[in-house]
Amino acid sequence: MLHIINKSPFVSSTLETCLEVATGGSVLLIEDAVYGAVAGTILEKKVSAAQTKLKLHVLGPDLEARGMSGALIPGVEKIDYAGFVDLVSRHKTCQSWL
């Protein structure tokens, strides 16, 4: 399954819950959730550890809009909207964690 997150992990527990609940598949960070993909934050360890069971992606245009195109957590893949479409297509279901 593809899990889509759009909340900043600094104000919402959404990313944390998702990383614990998700059994496998992919996670895509969009909108304010992109801050969770950035290297050097207090969350890096937790996000990075989730990569043993989940493949993490982040939406590039949302990173760039926020001036966050610097270093990402190693392993997190930056994609564009076309890549977003491919992710949806590749997984049987998707869930937006609103």
Interface residues toward other proteins, by CB under 8 A = 1, 4, 6, 13-14, 17, 20-24, 30-31, 61, 80-82, 84-86, 88-89, 93-98
- Residue number with CB closer to other proteins (53 or 69): 53
Output DSSP code: residue 81: H
The token pair at 54 is 């989940």
- Residue number with CB closer to other proteins (24 or 67): 24
- Taking the complex as a whole, how short is the minimal distance between the CB of residue 74 and other proteins, in angstroms? 24
Which uninterrupted H or E stretch holds 88? Answer: helix 81-90
Using the structure block, give the residue that is written with the tokens 């195109």. 69
- Residue number with CB closer to other proteins (68 or 94): 94
Got the DSSP string for 11-53?
A: T-SHHHHHHHH--SSEEEE-GGGGGGGBTTSTTHHHHHHGGGT
- Taking the complex as a whole, how short is the minimal distance between the CB of residue 3 and other proteins, in angstroms? 9
